[in-house]
Structure 1
Amino acid sequence: MNIKTVPATDKWTEYTLTNEAGMAVSILDFGGIITKLLVPDREGNLENVVLAYKNVQDYQQNPNYFGALIGRVAGRIEGASFNLSGKNYTLEANEGINHLHSGSAGFHQVLWKTEPFQTNHAVGLMLSHSSPDGEGGYPGNLTVTVTYTLTNDNRLLMDYEASSDKTTPLTLTNHSYFNLSGNLKNTVDAHAATIDCSQVVELDDQLIPTGNLMAVEETPFDFRAGRMLGDGLNDEFTQNQLAGSGYDHYFIFDNKQEQKVVVQESASGRQMAIETDQPGMVMYTGNGLDDTLLLSEGKSRKYLGVCFETQGSPASLHHKNMPNIILQADETYKTQTVFAFSLMK
């Protein structure tokens, strides 16, 4: 195991955590961005399984949020506003009239304080940040720590902890785009996914939740017994079409399985299982990607990666039947998501 530190730019530092199996994750202090994740295939070849820019300076803008920590609130907030305890709060409208991933003041644009660490079984990096009351339009002085831990059994843990001196909306996530084919050899069409979910949140044509929960039965959203992501990428089902021919939806977990998601790519033999205490996730299949971005292994293209954004639902700010994201003053926000890598059996 080791931790390697290199300057990424004149202001940013990149930390690479490597375990005893050779698996490695590279993380910038800027945005807490995962820039590389090397995972073995069935032949033992270590290859990158996340989308990343070839030029590190491109993360300065990063409109697709590659690898970044997202907060204070991950996802879309309808009308770039919300009401809390009788008071209206106005946010930056950075996607039409709506607010996406906390706008330009979001945590993906923050230079985090970092503290690497090592134990007998793991290597890690703790990132911390303080967001002042009113930043981005949100109430409360907020302190946040996010800890990435890579264990020797190829588990990548993401631990989030935060507290605020005022009641405030909060739901944090990581926005890595995964591609288990390795080094972006193929799009994610042939990734098979199993998801512990029988209801998803219906979207309108602006990708804003309508407030309706949609049963997954007999739709391309039914992953309970496993199916290919490609099933929904070319489907004529209205919800897939609204998302740009793919998925960009909040899946509410049934909590019947410890592993909420299992993803497999048969050509490489890689498997990724997701464990989390979050109530659901947004699965986004890279529907908005095109060939204008230069990535570490070549040009980007549609469906080149898939995000599993474990989080609460910002739609709860406008609809009461969604997983809540309100953090009470002086309470502790604490949640964990684990990405466990192995080989298909």
Structure 2
Amino acid sequence: MVVSKTKFGETDDKSVNLYKITNSNQTSISVLSYAATWQNFEVIEDGQKHPLIEHFDNLTDYIQTPYQVGKTIGRVAGRINKAHFTINDVNYQLKPNDGQNLLHGGNNGLQYQNFDAEIDSDNSVIFSHVVDGEDGFGGKLKVKVRYSLNDDDEVAITYTARTNHDTLFNPTCHVYFDVGEGNIRQQQLQINAKRFLDVDDEKIPTGKLLATTNAYDFKNFKKIGQGLKQLKPMDKFEYDDAFVVGDKAATIKNDQRAVDLYTDRNGLIIFTANPKDSQKASQYDYDSLAMEMQTLPDAINQKDFGETVLNKGQRVSYTNKYKYRKL
């Protein structure tokens, strides 16, 4: 196992570094200090390299993309209704950044920060950052994001946080998968979910859980393109949906390879996208699928959606895992 470090660019006069972890199979992941970003996930099959996730090769694209490609999202991933919540009878009104709602923790979230970094061992890198009252959240939050890769070709991302003030913490990696060189419609998806969230026109959960039927039924493997076709009669042309999942959340695959996704939380958001070509995206020509594992969105305002409150003095840790398999 080898970990290397190279300079990837600069932001605000500070270096942004890339760390590459390579295992005995020559499978590798690359991660950036900027936004604690998962920059690449690359495997070798029959001497050929295959990237499994959407990525950019320069810092400018990561800074400018509205798609948050590969970034650590937080304090809170997803939307918070009317940018408002209550913790222990204290009301918090944050500044909306998505209509009247808050998306991905606000405009100063973890996805815009350059983290400190250290090589933790021969197979892991730890990124650290402190946010202090940004976007209206209470208090100082110390965050660590640990990326590791083992010789079973499994990537683990562990998010750890501690706070000096009651706050929320529900991070994710906004990673976009493409296991078949851009042909996302032909790739197959399986999601271990019997229910998904009903949302309103602003994509805010109503509190209702719907059965995963028709276009939303991925209990067995189904081509993503088939699912998109099933959406059309509902006058929908993309996925941007939250599924209720368990430990083994999902698998995405083509005929040659698969990635299995595991989480210790209860939500998986999928989002069809084309981060590199806005014109194609506008024509619903998608090249990748975001798969974001987290506690269900707007959990703070919805009973039974899961716990995202992090109380003063408390420490919490979550782990998402992604395992590559050659088929």
Instruction: Report the TM-score, using the length of structure 2 for normalisation.
Output: 0.91
> Pairwise mapping of residues 177-196 of structure 1 onto structure 2 (< 5 A)?
177-181=176-180, 185-196=181-192
| Identity within the alignment, % | 26
How far 1:102 moved relative to its partner?
1.4
* Residues 284-310 of structure 1, C-alpha deviations (whole Å, 9 max, x = no match): 122x7572499xxxxx98421111111
Paired residues of 1:40 and 1:270 also in contact (CA < 8 A) = no
How far 1:318 moved relative to its partner?
2.1
Task: Name the CA distance, whole Å, in 2 between partners of 1:112 and 1:307.
Answer: 23
Partner of 2:9, secondary structure, is: coil
- Corresponding residue of 1:160: 159
Paired residues of 2:70 and 2:176 also in contact (CA < 8 A) = yes
Task: Name the CA distance, whole Å, in 2 between partners of 1:97 and 1:63.
Answer: 18
One-letter identity of the residue aligned with 2:56: Y
Which runs of at least 4 in structure 1 moved beyond 4 Å after TM superposition? Answer: 237-240
- Corresponding residue of 1:84: 87
**Unpaired runs of 5+ in structure 1?**
295-299
How far 1:76 moved relative to its partner?
1.0
How far 1:179 moved relative to its partner?
0.2
* Residues 22-70 of structure 1, C-alpha deviations (whole Å, 9 max, x = no match): 11111110101122221234x3422222112243212223210001000
Partner residue of 1:262 out of 242, 251, 256: 251
The alignment of Structure 1 onto Structure 2 pairs a total of residues equal to 321
* Residues 254-303 of structure 1, C-alpha deviations (whole Å, 9 max, x = no match): x3xx532121111xx111001211112111122x7572499xxxxx9842
One-letter identity of the residue aligned with 1:328: N
**Unpaired runs of 5+ in structure 2?**
none
- Corresponding residue of 2:130: 130
- Corresponding residue of 2:76: 73
Partner of 2:111, secondary structure, is: helix
* Residues 148-194 of structure 1, C-alpha deviations (whole Å, 9 max, x = no match): 0011121111111111122211101101111001xxx3331112122
Partner residue of 1:229 out of 224, 239, 242: 224
Structure 1 residue 337 corresponds to structure 2 residue 320: yes
Structure 1 residue 49 corresponds to structure 2 residue 52: yes
Partner of 2:194, secondary structure, is: strand
Task: Name the CA distance, whole Å, in 2 between partners of 1:39 and 1:260.
Answer: 22
One-letter identity of the residue aligned with 1:275: Y
Paired residues of 2:141 and 2:161 also in contact (CA < 8 A) = yes
- Please report the RMSD computed on the Cα atoms of aligned residues, expressed in angstroms: 2.2
- Corresponding residue of 1:36: 40
Partner of 2:99, secondary structure, is: coil
Task: Name the CA distance, whole Å, in 2 between partners of 1:239 and 1:91.
Answer: 34
Task: Name the CA distance, whole Å, in 2 between partners of 1:238 and 1:202.
Answer: 18
Task: Name the CA distance, whole Å, in 1 between partners of 2:149 and 2:58.
Answer: 25
More divergent stretch after superposition (66-75 vs 135-144): 135-144
More divergent stretch after superposition (328-337 vs 105-114): 328-337
More strand by share: 2
CA 319–326 in structure 1, closer or farther in 2 if over 3 Å, else same = same
How far 1:340 moved relative to its partner?
0.3
Task: Name the CA distance, whole Å, in 2 between partners of 1:138 and 1:116.
Answer: 30
Structure 1 residue 19 corresponds to structure 2 residue 5: no
One-letter identity of the residue aligned with 2:254: E
Partner of 1:233, secondary structure, is: helix
CA 276–21 in structure 1, closer or farther in 2 if over 3 Å, else same = same
Structure 1 residue 246 corresponds to structure 2 residue 246: no
Paired residues of 1:129 and 1:143 also in contact (CA < 8 A) = yes
